[in-house]
Amino acid sequence: MEPPEKPRGSPFDINGPDFNPDLYLQKLFKECSLKHIMDCESEVVKDCQLLNSDMQTLVYENYNKFILATDTIKKMKTDFKKMEDEMEMLIQNMNSITSFSEMITSTLQGTHGQISKLSGVHALLKKLQFLFKLPGKLKLLLQEEDYEQAVQEFVKTQPILDYYGDLDSFQGIQKDCNDILQKLKTKLRDQLKNKDTSAKKLIKCIDLLLQLQEPSDQLCSEYLTFVDSRLAEQLSSMQITHSGQDAAEFMDSGANVFLTDLCLIVTSYTDMFLNRTNSLEDSEAVGKLNSFVIRNMNSYLEIVQLKLEGTSEEDTAVLVSALDRLYCRLQAFNSLFTHVDFTVKGMELIISAAHRQCRNHLVSLKSHFADSLARVKQSLAAPKYTSSHTEGSVYTSNKSLDLSSNSALSTELLTSLVLASVEKVKGILQDLLLFLQPELTFISKYNFKEAFCIDGVREGLVVSFLHHVTATVQASAHKVPLQLLLLLSKMCLEYESNSVRYLLNVTDEWFSININASRAEQELLSSEAEICTGMKTAAQYLMNQYVFAAGSALSVMVKKSVDTRDWFHCAEPRTVRAAMKRVIEDITTIDCQVGALFEEGTRTGGSSDSSRRVSAQQSARSYQHHSRWGTSAASQVSNVSLPAAAINKIFSQNIDIFAPIQFSRISILTGIINITLKALLECVRLKTFNKYGLQQVQVDTHYLKIYLWRFVADETVIRNLLDEVVRSVTNRCIDGDKQLMEHGILEIICEKG
Amino acid sequence: MKEDIAIYGLEYKARTLSALTADTDSVGFLIGTQSLVMSNNQVHIVQLNEETNDMSAKIYQHDAGEIWSLISSPYDASLLVTCYNSVVTSPELQCTMGSSLWRLPNDDGTSESLLPLEKVCDFDFLSHGPEVKVTAFHPTDQTKLASVVENKILLWDLGKNSAKLTSETVMEGKGQPKFYSGKFNPQQSGSQFATLNETFVRGWDLRAQSSQVWVIQEAHSQFVRDLDFNPNRQHFLGTCGDDGKSKFWDMRNLTKPVITRSDHAHWVWSLRYNHYHDQLIATSSSDMKVILTCLSSISSESSYNQADDILDEDVENMGDLDVKNSNKPSESIKSDKNVDDVIATFEEHEDSVYCVEWSSADPWIVASLSYDGRLLINHVPKAEKYKIIL
């Protein structure tokens, strides 16, 4: 059979469940040939036969199984019957057990209550026995010094004791306990008072006492007094062990011992006394602690301060590191103890130490300055000796030598004075920069930087030093030799023009001081102009002193020369008096000294051609002006008509002979010469002259006229002064004719001189 | 602010000035002139009308010689004593010095020519030496005077028409030292006399012979020109000299001055305490200036009067430093009453000023005389005056 492929479930599938035989047959008849149908029929028959035989085998098999099962069930039925009998027996036994147990229970009921009561009594007795043993135990522990255990035992039993305290039998125990406890407490207290107790042991003691319900406020006071004494000891030992220790070591040891202890005390105190009782007591305890800590810290800081003050630390680095350590410790301590900020105090300490360092440096600067002054004084004294030797005799030949060495010496000394000081200041500033190292802890505080840089370094050191310089030189003006006066004046000028600005700039730069800061800060800073003015004033003062002193020295000579002569009995003049030559010589020397340090300066008046005696070094200066006053003045005087003299005087008086001195060679020399000539005038007014006395004065003044003009700014001033001398002498001349000398003879005599 | 100035001019050179000490009602001064023509010499009595600030003068002839010293009597305004130098032409030309007590003649204003002074008596010192520096009135005893001659102090007793030498005090020393000037100490009832020579200031007790009481070895680095005692405060005196300085001393400690001032640019010739307000000091100098200084710290009116030992260097140095300040125009105004400083500088003189004197009648008036014969009468600046009074 070849059934065509049909869809599933089709009625034409002979094996399918939807198979419809009629439809199948119809289809078969329609589609297939007879032969084909015949084949199909035989095939179907064959299949049917095959299927029948299969069915038969299946039935047989199942039948066998069923028979087996029936046999098994039969066997089971008999087994169950046996089991039922055994079950019944079990029930019977159980019933008898129940009845027995009920019997036992009922018999035991009476004794059970007694037993439980007895066991309760037993436990109580055990406890009570402990109580009875307690005094002994405590005593034992006391002997063994195991206080901690003792306290634990006691604390455990204390509630019980309290509970039974009113019973007679226990009162004894309680009393014993209390006695022992009292002993314990006294022992603990003794430990508290004993100075050798270590801090840890101490804390334990306190803890125990606290557990024993001792009043905490009393305890904390006791504790504080105890540690106070210990700290005091440490402090005093710190005070003693000063010598041989540098500041950093001192800080270290102090911090290690003292501050660590203090920290420990604060922590343990907080643990023990704070946060346990009520807030009122708490605050009381805190107050005690605070006052304690503040007191001790204050005395510590005081000692530190004393130490810092007592030892002038040469090495800034050591000092700085010491201060840094101190500050670190204080900061650390601050985090522990927040009530009072000790860093503020520490900062003050540091600032004051820094300031002290500045002051020390200032002192050393001052002494350095004094030393260099003394040195300069010495080196000035030495060549002066030789120059006084050369005076007079071989005047011109030695002069130039002396002069060059003189000027070299002066400038050299000047530089040594100025530069040495400036360098020294710079060195010190460098040293002080150590305070500003960025890794230092205290540097970050703004107020330190300000206080240190501005108050300490700039004002306290640099500005103070500059002020000191001006003050010193002014104060010493009376005691120093003339040449040094001149030198110092120049030094002040030098400072004014260069060094002050330089030093201030360096300071401002290194210590980052902002010049253009706010107005308030500006007021703190001394301005450069202010200091320069001071320097200038000092220079002017010294210069005035110099001019006055030099003039006075010459005046003394002039005065002596006038006083020692009998002008009333004078002989006819033949030469210029030696004193006048001496005056010229001295003025020339002064001129050299001044010229070595100061600029030429400018002239105001005319010059003269009557002065042909221009020495070698004088010719270097170029004068183009010419006048003829030398001759005209002389002829005027020889006419000696009083009105003419008066008129002359009216014009001459307009010039101030004591004009302020400027810092130029000309101005300085003018000042000196004016003072000298004025002295001459005063001296001659006190004398009475004869004719020849008058003529001698005439010779002298003419000589001075010839030589002095080249030193001065305005020669009319000296001309007027000298004319006034001659006029005064004319007035003081007793001879009726008051005859003056011929100008020609004057010239000749002066030429000779 | 310029106060009123009165100016009086003389025809001749002059270097002596004295207040009319005995006349405490009107402001008057005596001036003696210097001329080597003997008949030219005069004594001027200048009186200031304080209302109008005008001056009236009377001139008397002093033909004995050029006047080197003139002191008006503190007891009688018409008496004065002068030391003078007269030139004698015959038999040969020579100078002799003299010292005389004079009386101003009663001037009825009728005579045309100058009236001469009436000579009361001469002091005959010539046996002791040729040169007399000064003759001074005893501060309490009007019959006594003292002359400084060479190295001697001669004490005179005034008789009716003559002066009798009662005692002499001699300074011994090397190189024939000579006194330059001298003055009674007004405090010690006239027993003490102070002299100047070179750089020395010496105090003498006139009751005993040759008894030097005290000495300032080097009062000034150069010649000492003048001294004056504080009239109201014992032990204090001022000196001035050629070093241009004025120094103030406490006689109980003369090792160094209490105050040193150097306000002048040249020699200081004269120094005077104001008699009423002794913090006011007038000095005159050949720098042609007169300077008034107020030294409250050492005056008798000073509040810390008893703090006598302010003799430390600071004061001295400060005094010197102040000088330079006072020269600057931008002088800071010192409101403190006690700060010692220059309070006025009078610059109207055109020649050396050798004398300065306070008026005896008006404590705020000071007169100064320069060599060219110009007398200036100045007032203490009002502001300073009020500071002192109030």
From the CA of A560, how many Å to the nearest CA of chain B? Answer: 11
Worst-scoring range by mean pLDDT, A248-252, A427-431, A686-690?
A248-252
Nearest chain B alpha carbon to A686:
B68
Cα–Cα dist A660/A540, whole Å: 9
pLDDT at A607 over 70: no
pLDDT digits (tens, 9 = 90+) for A380-400: 776 544 444 433 333 333 333
Report CB contact under 8 Å: A688, B95.
Answer: yes
Q: Which of B95, B221, B243 sits opposite A568 (nearest CB)?
A: B95
The model's confidence at residue B88, banded by pLDDT at 50, 70 and 90, is confident
User: Could you tell me which residues come within 8 angstroms of residue A490 by beta carbon, excluding any fewer than 6 positions away?
Assistant: A414, A539, A597, A598
pLDDT digits (tens, 9 = 90+) for B265-277: 888 999 999 988 8
Worst-scoring range by mean pLDDT, A169-173, A434-438, A544-548, B40-44?
A169-173
**Residues of chain B with C-beta less than 8 angstroms from the C-beta of A529:** none
Worst-scoring range by mean pLDDT, A456-460, A584-588, A646-650, A707-711?
A646-650
Give the max Cα distance, chain B.
66
Burial, A82: exposed, middle or buried (Cβ in 10 Å; 0-12, 13-18, 19+)?
A: exposed
Mean pLDDT of A40-67: 89
Cα–Cα dist A352/B189, whole Å: 60
Quickly list DSSP for A161-188: HHHHTTSHHHHHHHHHHHHHHHHHHHHH
pLDDT score of B281: 92
Worst-scoring range by mean pLDDT, A2-6, A571-575, A576-580, B278-282?
A2-6
B327 touches chain A (CB under 8 A): yes
Smallest CA-to-CA distance from A128 within A87, A97, A174 is with A174
Q: Mutating which of B266, B285, B289, B350 best tests the A interface, going by the most A Cβ atoms within 10 A?
A: B266
Partners of residue B193 on adjacent β-strands: B184, B204
Greatest mean pLDDT range, A206-210, A475-479, A617-621: A475-479
pLDDT score of A294: 80
From the CA of A475, how many Å to the nearest CA of chain B? Answer: 6
**Chain mean pLDDT for chain A:** 75
The model's confidence at residue A580, banded by pLDDT at 50, 70 and 90, is confident
pLDDT score of B129: 85
Helix (H, G, I), strand (E, B) or coil at A714: coil
Cα–Cα dist A558/A704, whole Å: 12
pLDDT score of B315: 43
pLDDT at A2 over 90: no
A476 touches chain B (CB under 8 A): no
Nearest chain A alpha carbon to B96:
A688
pLDDT at A624 over 50: no
Worst-scoring range by mean pLDDT, A48-62, A187-201, B329-343?
B329-343
Contact B370, B354 (CB under 8 A): yes
Report CB contact under 8 Å: A552, B243.
Answer: yes
Smallest CA-to-CA distance from A174 within A207, A198, A138 is with A138
Residues 281..310 of B with a Cβ closer than 8 Å to A: which? 286-287
pLDDT at B325 over 50: no
Mean pLDDT of A472-498: 80
A341 touches chain B (CB under 8 A): no
The model's confidence at residue A656, banded by pLDDT at 50, 70 and 90, is low
pLDDT score of B1: 42
pLDDT digits (tens, 9 = 90+) for B17-76: 999 888 888 888 999 998 888 888 889 988 888 788 888 888 888 888 889 999 998 888
If one compares A235 and B237, the residue with the highest pLDDT of the two is B237
**Residues of chain A with C-beta less than 8 angstroms from the C-beta of B87:** 688, 734
Query: pTM for the complete prediction?
Result: 0.68
Report CB contact under 8 Å: A733, B36.
Answer: yes
If one compares A572 and A454, the residue with the highest pLDDT of the two is A572
User: Could you tell me which residues come within 8 angstroms of residue A355 by beta carbon, excluding any fewer than 6 positions away?
Assistant: A451, A452, A455, A456, A460
Cα–Cα dist A195/A693, whole Å: 102
**Residues of chain B with C-beta less than 8 angstroms from the C-beta of A660:** 327
Contact B230, B237 (CB under 8 A): yes
Residues 188..227 of B with a Cβ closer than 8 Å to A: which? 221-223
Which value does ipTM take for this structure? 0.84
Q: Which of B223, B243, B324 sits opposite A544 (nearest CB)?
A: B324
pLDDT at B282 over 90: yes
Partners of residue B32 on adjacent β-strands: B16, B43
B96 touches chain A (CB under 8 A): no
pLDDT at A407 over 80: no
The model's confidence at residue B338, banded by pLDDT at 50, 70 and 90, is low
**Residues of chain A with C-beta less than 8 angstroms from the C-beta of B36:** 688, 731-734
Q: How many percent of chain B have pLDDT more than 70?
A: 87
Q: Is the dihedral of CA A275, A277, A278, A282 positive or negative?
A: negative
**Residues of chain B with C-beta less than 8 angstroms from the C-beta of A681:** 286, 352
Mean pLDDT of A154-175: 71
Q: Which of A478, A541, A555 sits opposite B242 (nearest CB)?
A: A555
Report CB contact under 8 Å: B244, A733.
Answer: no
Contact A2, A31 (CB under 8 A): no
Three-class HEC string of chain B: CCCCCEEEECCCEEEEEEECCCCCCCEEEEEEEECCCHHHCEEEEEEEECCCCEEEEEEEECCCCEEEEEEECCCCCCEEEEEEEEEECCCCCEEEEEEEEEECCCCCCCCCCCEECEEEEECCCCCCCCCEEEEEECCCCCCEEEEEECCEEEEEEECCCCEEEEEEEECCCCCCCCCCEEEECCCCCCCEEEEEECCEEEEEECCCCCCEEEEECCCCCCCEEEEEECCCCCCEEEEEECCCCEEEEECCECCCCCEEECCCCCCEEEEEECCCCCCEEEEEECCCCEEEEECHHHCCCCCCCCCCCCCCHHHHHHHHHHHHHHCCCCCCCCCCCCCCEEEEEECCCCCCEEEEEECCCCCCEEEEEECCCEEEEEECCHHHHHHHHC
Q: How many percent of chain A have pLDDT more than 70?
A: 78
Contact B340, B297 (CB under 8 A): yes
Q: How many percent of chain A have pLDDT more than 90?
A: 2
**Residues of chain A with C-beta less than 8 angstroms from the C-beta of B352:** 681-682, 685
B324 touches chain A (CB under 8 A): yes
The model's confidence at residue B283, banded by pLDDT at 50, 70 and 90, is very high
pLDDT score of A94: 92
pLDDT score of B321: 42
* Residue B84 one-letter amino acid: Y
Report CB contact under 8 Å: A552, B242.
Answer: yes
Report CB contact under 8 Å: B321, A552.
Answer: no
If one compares A437 and A609, the residue with the highest pLDDT of the two is A437
Distance of CA A118 to the CA centre of its chain: 82
Report CB contact under 8 Å: A475, B317.
Answer: yes
Q: Which of A658, A679, A734 sits opposite B36 (nearest CB)?
A: A734
Q: Which of A474, A552, A679 sits opposite B321 (nearest CB)?
A: A474
